[in-house]
């Protein structure tokens, strides 16, 4: 049995109840086969892959808070500090009822390679809670965030572990968490990213993941002789990543005709109205049916009632920007049937393994999330730099840095794929290019 297969078997046995984590590990380790083969004995003796798949530290804690009726509620908080070989742990905080340790571990594992791909000094981590922000009052959100940070604050720090946003955690939540950190630790430091602009946040961080997704997608299309201008694009999700992906796609001359939330989706034949979408999602925190109600060119589809989704709509480029495993094999077949040219993942692991392989077999360009959505965390690292030097960069400076980071990522993953004989397979390229730096640092730092 090869070393990779041995480790895969061990990881499966040890984490049998964490399918999302196993899915992420399987994809990465399978891609690494050609690199591992070159140093198989050495890596095995040093248990490099076992160490890579075992978080350095996992923290699980009680989060009690009081709702508006005076009732005490209890949630579970998590922080997985996965790998600090190349920098302090870095990764978002997800607030969603589906959160359990397997979700946080899959996200933390992906983050190791993504952060490495940015070329910046950030290790991999992720956190979150099964708290559901939907329908909560502002006061309840603050109570939760303060309680969450009351425990988390002892485990993080500007040079230790720097959390940020993810599903359910945006500027408002980061603000409440930052206030509580500062109050308890008496430290005004860049311990969180995605902060408000008045207290150490970076310009363009809000836009960064969506913009970065389009910078990378555009570069991938260009290198394959395709012009993004005039193309029809389907986006899923209607949160931070989706909104700014739509905005940048439009700036590049493409037409985005869909977006979605957990209850339904929109088809807008005239192209999504970003100002209206922002008003509904960022200001009113409402559902997407409000978009169709305000826009005659849009049709709202109820997900449950119709069983349909955005991938039913013919497009040249598909950008899944909502959540894990939202694009399965049936969706992939529909997209390919409708002539899709490229898929780029704005979300983390939105495409199932089966669907990913299907796209690759059919010659669809496929950019995996750990490369395609790295713009968010890259900009977070730029926020950390600004906090360290106590400076504020202009929007243009951050945006230009972001663009060049994303273009570099594309060329690095493209080159890594080609070097190992998998030309055009950006999944393999991203996993190998992300792994190489982390492995080198781990080996240099001894058995830790
Ligand atoms: P938001 O909370 O801002 O938006 C999430 C969107 O996805 C919402 O429209 C939400 O709908 C939908 N969604 C979430 N969970 C589900 C679900 N289980 N089923 C169906 N729809 C769902 O999160 P982000 O935009 O920040 O994150 C989206 C994805 O991008 C995630 O995978 C995240 O990990 C990834 N990502 C985020 C980065 C960032 O900087 N924010 C950086 C890199 C990756 P509803 O509101 O109805 O729940
Ligand atoms: O998945 C991700 O990369 C994020 N949610 C952003 C992490 C960060 O630290 O900015």
Give the CATH number of the domain where residue 277 resides. 3.40.50.720
Q: Ligand 1, closest atom to CA 374?
A: 43
DSSP state of 93: E
Domain assignment present for residue 402? The answer is no
* Residue 304: predicted pLDDT: 85
Domain assignment present for residue 216? The answer is yes
* Residue 282: predicted pLDDT: 97
Asked whether residue 352 falls in the same domain as residue 225, the answer is: yes
Domain interval for residue 226? 206-372
Clarify whether 114 is annotated catalytic.
Answer: no
- H or E element in which residue 90 lies: strand 89-95
Domain assignment present for residue 401? The answer is no
- Catalytic-role residue among 105, 114, 126, 231: 126
Domain assignment present for residue 443? The answer is no
Dist. CA 438–CA 215, nearest whole Å? 25
- Sheet holding 264-268: strands in order across? 298-302, 264-268, 255-260, 232-236, 317-320, 342-344, 365-367
* Residue 306: predicted pLDDT: 87
Half-sphere exposure of 431 (CA within 13 A, CB side): 21
* Residue 62: predicted pLDDT: 98
Asked whether residue 13 falls in the same domain as residue 150, the answer is: no
Asked whether residue 126 falls in the same domain as residue 235, the answer is: no
Asked whether residue 224 falls in the same domain as residue 305, the answer is: yes
Say how many Å lie between the CA of residue 307 and the centre of ligand 2: 30
* Residue 387: predicted pLDDT: 98
Strands 232-236 and 317-320: parallel
Asked whether residue 272 falls in the same domain as residue 219, the answer is: yes
Asked whether residue 277 falls in the same domain as residue 328, the answer is: yes
Asked whether residue 88 falls in the same domain as residue 142, the answer is: yes
Torsion on CA atoms 339, 213, 346, 435, rounded to nearest 10: 110
Going by CA atoms, what residue is nearest to atom 28 of ligand 1?
322
How many Cβ atoms sit within 10 Å of the Cβ of residue 288?
A: 24
Dist. CA 222–CA 227, nearest whole Å? 6
Q: Nearest 5°: phi and psi at 121?
A: -90, 75
Domain boundary among the residues 160, 189, 218 is at 189
Residues of the chain with pLDDT under 70: none
Q: Ligand 2, closest atom to CA 165?
A: 5
Nearest Cα neighbor of 314 from 250, 257, 244 is 257
Instruction: Let me know: does 77 contact 62? Beta carbons within 8 Å.
Output: yes
Domain assignment present for residue 446? The answer is no
Domain boundary among the residues 342, 372, 402 is at 372
Domain assignment present for residue 194? The answer is no
Instruction: Let me know: does 387 contact 158? Beta carbons within 8 Å.
Output: yes
Q: Give me the chain's average pLDDT, please.
A: 98
Asked whether residue 89 falls in the same domain as residue 120, the answer is: yes
Nearest Cα neighbor of 433 from 370, 380, 344 is 370
Asked whether residue 75 falls in the same domain as residue 183, the answer is: yes
Asked whether residue 174 falls in the same domain as residue 273, the answer is: no
Say how many Å lie between the CA of residue 208 and the centre of ligand 2: 10
* Residue 144: predicted pLDDT: 99
Number of domains in the chain: 3
């Amino acid at each position: 049995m090869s070393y990779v297969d041995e480790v895969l078997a061990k990881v499966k046995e040890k984490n049998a109840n964490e399918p999302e984590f196993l899915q992420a590990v399987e994809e990465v380790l399978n891609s690494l086969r050609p690199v591992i083969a070159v140093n198989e004995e050495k890596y095995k003796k040093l248990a490099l892959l076992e160490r890579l798949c075992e978080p350095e530290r996992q923290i699980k804690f009680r989060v009690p808070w009081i709702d508006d009726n005076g009732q005490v509620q209890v949630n579970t908080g998590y922080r997985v500090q996965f790998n600090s070989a190349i920098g302090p742990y870095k990764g978002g905080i997800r607030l969603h009822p589906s959160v359990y340790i397997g979700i946080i571990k899959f996200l933390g594992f992906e983050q190791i390679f993504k952060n490495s791909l940015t070329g910046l000094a950030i290790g991999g981590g992720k956190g979150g809670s099964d708290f559901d922000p939907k329908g909560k009052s502002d006061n309840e959100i603050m109570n939760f965030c303060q309680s969450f940070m009351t425990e988390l604050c002892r485990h993080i720090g500007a040079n230790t572990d720097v959390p940020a946003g993810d599903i359910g955690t945006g500027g408002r939540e980061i603000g409440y968490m930052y206030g509580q950190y500062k109050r308890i630790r008496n430290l005004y430091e860049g311990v969180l990213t995605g902060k408000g602009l008045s207290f150490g946040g970076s310009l363009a961080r809000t836009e960064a993941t969506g913009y970065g997704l389009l910078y990378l997608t555009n570069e991938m299309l260009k290198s394959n002789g395709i012009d993004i201008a005039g193309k029809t694009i389907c986006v899923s999700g209607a949160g931070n990543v989706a909104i700014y992906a739509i905005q940048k796609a439009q700036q590049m001359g493409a037409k985005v005709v869909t977006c979605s939330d957990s209850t339904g989706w929109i088809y807008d034949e005239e192209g999504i109205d970003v100002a209206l979408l922002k008003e509904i999602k960022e200001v009113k925190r409402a559902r997407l049916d409000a978009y169709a109600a305000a826009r005659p060119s849009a049709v709202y589809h109820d997900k449950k009632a119709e069983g349909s989704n955005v991938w039913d709509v013919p497009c040249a480029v598909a950008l899944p920007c909502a959540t894990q495993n939202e694009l399965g094999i049936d969706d992939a077949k529909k997209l390919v049937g409708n002539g899709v040219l490229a898929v780029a993942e704005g979300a983390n692991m939105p495409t199932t393994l089966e669907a990913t392989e299907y796209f690759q077999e059919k010659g669809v360009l496929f950019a995996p999330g750990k490369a395609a959505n790295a713009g968010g965390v890259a900009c977070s690292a730029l926020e950390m730099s600004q906090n360290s030097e106590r400076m504020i960069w202009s929007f243009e400076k951050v945006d230009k840095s972001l663009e060049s980071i994303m273009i570099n990522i594309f060329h690095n993953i493209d080159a890594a794929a080609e070097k190992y004989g998998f030309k055009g397979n950006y999944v393999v390229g991203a996993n190998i290019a992300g792994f190489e730096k982390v492995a080198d640092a781990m080996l240099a730092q001894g058995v830790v």
